[in-house]
């Protein structure tokens, strides 16, 4: 995109946020202070390093809700009544439209916004699960007759600042279910379940919480299920996805009986046709247990056991196995016994998912008292053709992206917090495991960081090949790379998280799409081999670029002297 187009985007952001009183802020402590509010931040992590007793410490900010004027408000209003998106009869991904980056002519094929999800004329009930709610932002999108239920952690809802007759009517039908969470843990799930007047249901998993700044500044994606019809009275269909979702809902200590009834009466055949799995984390045991696959990391390992490719760690594998991870937060290092500290992806997730560590430990819940040391891990990775990829924004990418440090407030990697964190970071970097976005300025977003969380595996045959077109499996989730989000093989997670797992098979293939690809045929395509094809839209281009010597992961707790493209300087957040 031309520089004058990017300048126009920067002008729009100034116009938008200047309504809050800071026309041209010159120091950016956090992009969450744009409207001089501190939305509660429990996403930065400083975990203790014991692999079995890790506790993620999340920095909590105060909530200060300033009164906003109803006139000239930057919050979206419902744009009339939308018809339900009947075309979305397959699982699909769309990039969340930003009021700052996109114009009104943005492609409906690739983009969506929450007014389209919440303002359907056919919507009668909606359940929202999230970590943060800005009611001024989201409630104006709903028809006042919709029965709305909000599930939230205590202290994470910014209340309305202005009441209107329409909002008063909506709130009279609204139910708020508050979750008690221990200190430094969070209800991090992001889930929308819409029920329509004909009994149909659609499920959405967005990557963002329900606040205006988080929706508009970093890149976001939303996954949508097909429209799921009401179950036939004559016969109930079998659904592993539905069972897992109901099991997740049963871990809540609040009344979700109406949602449970709705899900039970919904036919999930359209989801089962694609072999999709609902992957969740919960700190509480399930009251409704369909199977004992576990939660968090254990559940993921059990669902992917057929993709374990290491049969004998001493035998060379002639293929390359690429393990890709893109998150917005990287937790503290792992330690166990006398082992050197390690990383959750490289030392726990990949060893179990690949088969380097035996699956019997998942079944017996045997404790992992030792981590593979770095030298042994490098030897096994080379022997088995395993290549880890951690896509994380660099300081330079954030500084030079369209909105600079304003987009940085959701990216937490305290890599310089202590000596242990510094050592693990340097080891990951020197091993060549860190990657950045491809430098193709195809849109006004350029290198704007993505708040999404994707985990994926790709297999290639050539030693020089890095094809990222058709993955073996992809997980789109709310879970960051942290012990609180995932737990371990023997220990439950401490957060609530949700995600959808997509896998390839003899009859089904996954295809990666990016913002410059056409999405024609997104969803169900019949190829020459009669395989079903499921397209997965990412907000960046794969394969990514490896860090060079000058690159470093952005560290929100580090001070940077260079101003960004808007002239702002970053002030560290502890």
Active site residues: 188, 451
Continuous segment of H or E residues that includes residue 280: strand 277-281
> How many other CB atoms are there within 10 angstroms of residue 337's CB atom?
11
d(CA 78, CA 68): 18
Q: Which of 539, 558, 541, 538 is nearest to 394 (CA)?
A: 558
Q: Which of 177, 179, 121 is nearest to 148 (CA)?
A: 177
Determine the distance from the C-alpha atom of residue 309 to the mean position of all C-alpha atoms in its chain, rounded to a whole number.
26
CB contact at 8 A, 201 and 265: no
Q: Which of 126, 49, 135, 58 is nearest to 495 (CA)?
A: 58
d(CA 54, CA 357): 21
What residues contact residue 520 under an 8 Å CB cut-off, 6+ apart? 109
Determine the distance from the C-alpha atom of residue 55 to the mean position of all C-alpha atoms in its chain, rounded to a whole number.
21
User: What spatial distance separates the first Cα and last Cα of the chain, rounded to whole Å?
Assistant: 35
- Mode of pairing for the β-strands spanning 497-503 and 508-513: unpaired
d(CA 349, CA 141): 40
The tokens of 185 are what? 């843990």
d(CA 48, CA 56): 7
Q: Which of 324, 319, 300 is nearest to 309 (CA)?
A: 319
- Tell me how far CA of residue 537 lies from CA of 34, 131, 172, in angstroms: 29, 24, 38
Question: Taking phi first (over 0 means left), then psi (-120 to 50 degrees means alpha), and beta for anything else, what does residue 25 get?
Answer: beta
Compute the half-sphere exposure of residue 85: CA atoms within 13 Å on the CB side of its CA: 23
What residues contact residue 40 under an 8 Å CB cut-off, 6+ apart? 60, 61, 62, 63, 132, 155, 156
SS3 19: helix
The answer to whether 29 is annotated as binding is no
> Rounded to 5 degrees, what angle do the CA atoms 451, 105, 126 make?
55
What residues contact residue 79 under an 8 Å CB cut-off, 6+ apart? 115, 119
The answer to whether 513 is annotated as binding is no
What residues contact residue 475 under an 8 Å CB cut-off, 6+ apart? 279, 300, 454, 455, 456, 499, 500, 501, 502
Q: Which of 99, 26, 2, 1 is nearest to 404 (CA)?
A: 26
The tokens of 155 are what? 């202290």
> Residues comprising the binding site?
190, 453
> Residues comprising the binding site for substrate?
190, 453
């Amino acid at each position: 995109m031309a520089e004058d187009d990017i300048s126009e985007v920067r002008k729009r952001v100034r116009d938008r946020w200047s309504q809050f009183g800071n026309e041209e802020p010159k120091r950016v402590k956090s992009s969450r202070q744009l409207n001089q509010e501190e939305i509660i931040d429990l996403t930065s992590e400083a975990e203790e390093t014991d692999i079995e007793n890790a506790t993620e410490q999340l920095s909590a900010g105060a909530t200060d809700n300033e009164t906003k004027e109803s006139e000239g408000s930057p919050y979206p209003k419902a744009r009339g009544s939308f018809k339900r998106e009947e075309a979305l009869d397959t699982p699909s991904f769309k990039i969340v439209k930003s009021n700052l980056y996109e114009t009104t002519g943005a492609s409906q094929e690739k983009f969506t916004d929450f007014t389209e999800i919440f303002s359907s004329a056919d919507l009668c009930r909606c359940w929202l699960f999230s970590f943060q709610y800005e009611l001024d932002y989201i409630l104006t999108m709903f028809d006042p007759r919709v029965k709305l239920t909000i599930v939230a952690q205590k202290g994470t809802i910014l209340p309305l600042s202005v009441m209107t007759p329409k909002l008063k009517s909506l709130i009279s039908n609204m139910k708020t279910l508050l979750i008690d969470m221990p200190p430094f843990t969070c209800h991090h799930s992001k889930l929308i379940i819409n029920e329509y007047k004909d009994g149909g249901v659609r499920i959405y998993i967005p990557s963002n919480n329900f606040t205006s700044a988080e929706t508009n500044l970093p890149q976001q994606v939303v996954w949508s299920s097909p429209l799921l019809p009401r179950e036939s009275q004559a016969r109930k269909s079998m659904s592993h996805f539905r069972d897992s979702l109901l099991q997740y809902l049963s871990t809540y200590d609040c009344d979700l009986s109406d949602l449970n009834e709705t899900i039970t009466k919904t036919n999930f055949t359209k989801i089962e046709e694609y072999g999709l799995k609902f992957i969740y984390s919960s700190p509480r045991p399930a009251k409704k247990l369909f199977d004992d696959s576990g939660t968090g990391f254990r559940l993921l390992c059990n669902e992917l056991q057929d993709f374990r490719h290491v049969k004998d760690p001493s035998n060379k594998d002639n293929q390359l196995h690429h393990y890709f991870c893109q998150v917005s937060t990287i937790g503290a290092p792992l330690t166990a016994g006398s082992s050197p500290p390690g990383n959750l992806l490289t030392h726990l997730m990949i060893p179990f998912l690949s088969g380097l560590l035996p699956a019997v430990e998942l079944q017996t819940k045997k404790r992992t008292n030792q981590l593979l040391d770095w030298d042994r891990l490098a030897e096994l990775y080379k022997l088995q053709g395993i290549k880890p990829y951690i896509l994380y924004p660099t300081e330079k990418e954030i500084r030079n992206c369209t909105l600079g440090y304003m987009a940085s407030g959701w990216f937490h990697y305290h890599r310089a917090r202590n000596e242990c964190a510094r050592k693990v970071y340097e080891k990951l970097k020197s091993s060549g495991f860190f990657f950045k976005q491809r430098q193709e300025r195809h849109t006004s977003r350029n290198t704007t960081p993505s708040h999404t969380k994707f985990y994926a595996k790709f297999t290639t045959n050539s030693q020089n090949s890095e094809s990222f077109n058709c993955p073996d499996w992809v997980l789109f989730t709310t879970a960051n790379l942290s012990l609180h989000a995932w737990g371990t093989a023997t220990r439950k997670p401490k957060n609530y998280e949700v995600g959808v797992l997509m896998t390839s098979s003899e009859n089904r293939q996954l295809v990666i799409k990016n913002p410059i690809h056409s999405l024609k045929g997104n969803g169900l395509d019949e190829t020459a081999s009669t395989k079903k094809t499921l397209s997965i839209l990412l907000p960046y281009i794969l394969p990514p670029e490896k860090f060079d010597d000058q690159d470093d992961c952005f560290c929100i707790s580090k001070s940077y002297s260079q101003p960004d493209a808007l002239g702002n300087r970053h002030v560290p957040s502890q």
